[in-house]
Structure 1
């Protein structure tokens, strides 16, 4: 974010959001979240999902891009 602001290059933030979304997609495709029997693993994965959602939402907001509340 700092680099994007200092260099007046929103592309840096857009690329970051895109890369994070791709990484999250790979994780979500490979690792079951709700179907895991171990509560600790499930909770950790749910926290990762929530954190990813928040970071992507923040990046989109900084780029003034609206996203749906539900998909």
Structure 2
């Protein structure tokens, strides 16, 4: 396997482990709550949700979880 394939496999494993975690359900719930905010628009939905998660601290929590998974 080449380095790109190894990285893809690693990412897939981390995503699978995090999908079943409590953190995943919390982030998903927060993202859904974000959809009800008046400043979130359909045409910029992805960016709006990403911005909300960043400003609310969830992005950092996800980064920390990925870091922990990489070092397990």
The alignment's TM-score, normalised by the length of structure 2, stands at: 0.40
Would you tell me which structure has more helix in proportion to its own residues? Answer: 2
